[in-house]
Every structure is written in C-alpha cells, then in structure tokens.
Amino acid sequence: MTLSSAQQPGLFIAFEGGDGAGKSTQAALLTQAMSDAGRTVLRTREPGGTPVGEKLRSLVLEHGQGEIDAKTEALIFAAARAAHATQVIAPAVARGEIVISDRYADSSIAYQGAGRGLGTEAIVKLNDWATSGLWPDLTVLLDVSPAEGRERRTAGDAAEDRMESEPDDFHATIRAAFLELAQANPQRYLVLPADGAVSELAQVIRDRINALLGTA
C-alpha cells in the first residue's frame, strides 16, 4: 500500500553553500528523484519564493540601489524569509509535502552574521522570530572553496551580483561559518565536498533523505 502525500510526514530540506557550490543542480536532481518516488515536492529558493520576496531579492542583490548597510541587508533577507516561511514552506510541510529550498536562514547566519560581522546570535534570534521557529529538518551543505566557487560562477558569463562580487576573504569567512554551523549540529546537516561528481553527490543526498523518510 502506498500512502498518499497527505498521510506521509512532510519534510523541509535546505541546500546551503557558498556561491558557485552547485546547490541548484543538486536541488533539481533531488526534486526529480523525490517526484519520481511519488512524493509531492515543492522546490523554492531564497531570497524569493513569494511575490514580495522576489521584489526584495532584486532590491538586495542588484547593484545600484545606493548604500545597503549590514543591518538593512539582514532585515531585507529576514523579511523575504518571513513571507516564505509563513506563506509557502510551513503550509506545504503541513500538507505532507517535501520542501526543497535553495538557501534558507543559515545563509543569513553565514553572510550577514559572519560575513558582515553582525554576529550569529543576533541573526539566529532575528530569523527565529521571522520564521516563527521554522528550521529545516536537514540542511545539505555543499562545501566549496572561494577560488573554486569563483571559477564555477564565472564559467557561465552571468554578471556577479552584490554578494558574489565580494572578495575571496569574504567568501572564506562564509565557508568557515557554514562549516561551524554543521559541526555544532551534525545530525541536522549533510556536508559534502562541492567538487564531487554530480551523480555521486546526488546519490548520497538521496540516501540520506530516504533514511530520514524511513524508505531506505
């Protein structure tokens, strides 16, 4: 007997990592695998995922908006996340769906908390409030070095956004912050080297999710 989506537990999975880590590729492969297994999957991304979130995304990522200081930046990401968590993620998980988000609150902890120097504690508190305490069941961290990340994202010729165009030492700080989060909470993270073969990484990720779902 197969259970319908509504009878199965929902799951919230976030993909995190530096710019150019290949999160979108792996999020897409996992989405396909879970859909093929008969699950209802909602794939989404941050900043964004709602109409207001997509507007905030343009505000915070495009060049030429005038100065955006660190606290303003943190609040814009948190505002987009509040809408995303309340309007999209929490309802989908409650319906028994698998939500796969390209980035979530750990990006704010790493980029705004560590990268911009606002501190982990302030960003955790802000985001815990903004999301009413909604944190992922599992975070897949694709670990990439600043040099490799830069090489990967400049290989396609898309222009770098406000965050991507920060120097390598900013990206090194982000990387260390992500790894620290994962080390502090190993059961909620799957850390993988971003330079692994795409299909092998996808397999490891699938195995971990199936174990979580009890379908391994």
Name the site residues for ligand TYD (rule: CB under 6 A): 19, 23-24, 46-47, 61, 77, 102-103, 107-108, 111-112, 161, 163-164
Q: Judged by CB, which is closer to ligand TYD: 93, or 194?
A: 194
Q: Judged by CB, which is closer to ligand TYD: 8, or 112?
A: 112
Tell the smallest beta-carbon distance from residue 47 to ligand TYD (Å): 5
Q: Judged by CB, which is closer to ligand TYD: 8, or 44?
A: 44
Tell the smallest beta-carbon distance from residue 76 to ligand TYD (Å): 9
Tell the smallest beta-carbon distance from residue 139 to ligand TYD (Å): 13
Residue from 60, 57, 30 nearest 46 by CA:
57
- Beta carbons within 8 Å of 206's beta carbon, 6+ residues apart: 30, 33
- Angle at 18 (CA atoms; ends 158, 168), nearest 5 degrees: 80
CB-based contact 108:78 (threshold 8 Å)? yes
Tell the smallest beta-carbon distance from residue 177 to ligand TYD (Å): 11
Tell the smallest beta-carbon distance from residue 164 to ligand TYD (Å): 5
Report the half-sphere exposure of 135 (CA within 13 A, side-chain side). Answer: 17
Q: Judged by CB, which is closer to ligand TYD: 97, or 102?
A: 102
Q: Judged by CB, which is closer to ligand TYD: 165, or 203?
A: 165
Q: Judged by CB, which is closer to ligand TYD: 138, or 142?
A: 142
**C-alpha distances out from residue 151 to 2, 164, 196, 210, Å:** 45, 12, 15, 33
- Beta carbons within 8 Å of 45's beta carbon, 6+ residues apart: 24, 101, 102, 103
Tell the smallest beta-carbon distance from residue 30 to ligand TYD (Å): 15
